Amino acid sequence: MENIGNKIQYQIYSTMQNPDPDRFPVILEEWEELARKKLADGPYYYIAGGAGSEKTMQANLKAFTNREVIPRMLRNVDQRDLSVDLFGQKYPFPILQAPIGVQSIIHEEGEIGSALASAEMGVPYIASSASSVPMEKIAEAMGDAPRWFQLYWSRDPEIAASFLKRAENSGYSAIVVTLDTPMMAWREYDLKNVYLPFLAGEGVGNYFTDPAFLSKLEKSPQEDPQAAVMHWTKVFGNTSLTWDDIDFLREHTNLPIILKGILHESDAKLAVEKGVDGIIVSNHGGRQVDGAVGALDALPKVVEAVGDKVPVLMDSGIRRGSDIIKAMALGAKAVLVGRPLMYGLAVAGQKGVKEVMQNMLADLDITLGLTGQSSVSQLDPSLLREME
């Protein structure tokens, strides 16, 4: 089988004979620059920005810079295996699309565009509770392609239960429960721009078709959009949840339950005690607690606390192939990719998401081989050195 890195590298070089001035960028930062030009301040800063002074966002990137790879030589890296096994499924690559809400503010194709790019690549798509379109529409567009559903655990248990049931009925194969966003953080750019994403684009369309949500409204969201949005702001999150509530999830779904937003090893132990199936080490891309630990810095202790009881995944700061290698060397079984794909979506919809994803995977494949490794699932911490 041809390695994806060599294939994509060859494709890019071969276009040089026929240079196209409108060809997509290769450099990730150029995708963000193009996205900046396309989007108004409100949506751009909503995507690119973080909580408070954005120290956590910076810490996420610094945690990767602070670790260096020490490549090994002469190890026959002709055949490289990027595949991973997660919850009984084999996936061709060790990445998933991070759940990202309200994508209609980014591009008219929104979630359908990004989900179809995932489907083309065989990369699992994690549909957000806050998607601009109903989760069933995403599922229908994706056919048999792999998809997970991300739950924002509503204050109204009927909505939470309804989301879990809808996800199961529409072919999502795992539930990602985001714990770090029971309310929106102090995000200075959004406050400065007076930008409320749920009022823009298609809003949070996934709620506006939910039977449990609709049953609490006097008029439909089409008849009285303001009342629907007001109700949504009341029920979106739940700041009263405790570890005892995890049982509710198990009572309402048979799918694997994966907790997203774990940073502390004590929480990782509690999660395992509660019988969840997986953990995602994440600080929500630095969008929630300003000053929180960089996600990669939190990963080793969580992995140590969990042992091999459940798989640990991570996100927050994955930008290049070497970042994936570092996260997996520290024990992540796979990683979630967030903002880079949204810059792709902003620039060129489905095509842009696919291009950014493909380039990242090609970079991963080539960098893996050059470090003397043939399989992402056999990486270990001896490949890395932490800078003082």
Which of 25, 50, 101, 352 contacts ligand LXCWX6NK by CB under 6 A?
Answer: 101
In the range 193-252, which residues lie near ligand FMN by CB under 6 A?
A: none
Choose between 352 and 369: whose C-beta lies nearer to ligand FMN: 352
Give the chain as a 3 state SS string: CCCHHHHHHHHHHHHHHCCCCCCCCCCHHHHHHHHHHHCCHHHHHHHHCCCCCCHHHHHHHHHHHCEEECCCCCCCCCCCECCEEECCEEECCCEEECCCCCHHHCCCCHHHHHHHHHHHHCCCEEECCCCCCCHHHHHHHHCCCCEEEEECCCCCHHHHHHHHHHHHHCCCCCEEEECCCCCCCCCHHHHHCCCCHHHCCCCCCCCCCCHHHHCCCCCCCCCCHHHHHHHHHHHCCCCCCCHHHHHHHHHHCCCCEEEEEECCHHHHHHHHHCCCCEEEECCHHHCCCCCCCCHHHHHHHHHHHHCCCCCEEECCCCCCHHHHHHHHHCCCCCEEECHHHHHHHHHHHHHHHHHHHHHHHHHHHHHHHHCCCCEHHHCCHHHEEECC
Q: Could you give the CA distance from residue 272 to residue 276 in angstroms, rounded to a whole number?
A: 6
Size of the site for ligand LXCWX6NK (CB under 6 A): 9
Select the binding partner of residue 103 from ligand LXCWX6NK, ligand FMN, none (C-beta < 5 to 8 A, by kind). Answer: none
Q: x/- binding map, residues 160-179, to ligand FMN, per CB under 6 A?
A: ------------------x-
In the complex, what is the shortest distance from the CB of residue 371 to ligand FMN, in angstroms, rounded to a whole number?
22
In the complex, what is the shortest distance from the CB of residue 308 to ligand LXCWX6NK, in angstroms, rounded to a whole number?
30
Nearest residue to 236 via CA among 196, 268, 276: 196
221 near ligand LXCWX6NK, rule: CB under 6 A:
no
Is 284 a known active-site residue? yes
In the range 158-197, which residues lie near ligand LXCWX6NK by CB under 6 A?
A: 181, 197
Choose between 286 and 352: whose C-beta lies nearer to ligand LXCWX6NK: 286
113 near ligand LXCWX6NK, rule: CB under 6 A:
no
Choose between 93 and 195: whose C-beta lies nearer to ligand LXCWX6NK: 195
Segment contacting ligand FMN by CB under 6 A, of 5-13, 26-34, 95-103, 271-279: 95-103
Select the binding partner of residue 316 from ligand LXCWX6NK, ligand FMN, none (C-beta < 5 to 8 A, by kind). Answer: ligand FMN
Active-site hit among 107, 231, 252, 284: 284
Which of 3, 114, 118, 128 contacts ligand FMN by CB under 6 A?
Answer: 128
In the complex, what is the shortest distance from the CB of residue 106 to ligand FMN, in angstroms, rounded to a whole number?
8
In the complex, what is the shortest distance from the CB of residue 194 to ligand LXCWX6NK, in angstroms, rounded to a whole number?
14
Q: x/- binding map, residues 33-52, to ligand FMN, per CB under 6 A?
A: -------------xx-----
Strand pairing partners for 85? Answer: 90
As annotated, the active-site residues are 284
Kindly list the residues in this chain that would bind ligand FMN in the complex (CB under 6 A): 46-47, 98-101, 128, 130, 150, 178, 260, 282, 284-285, 287, 315-318, 336, 338-339
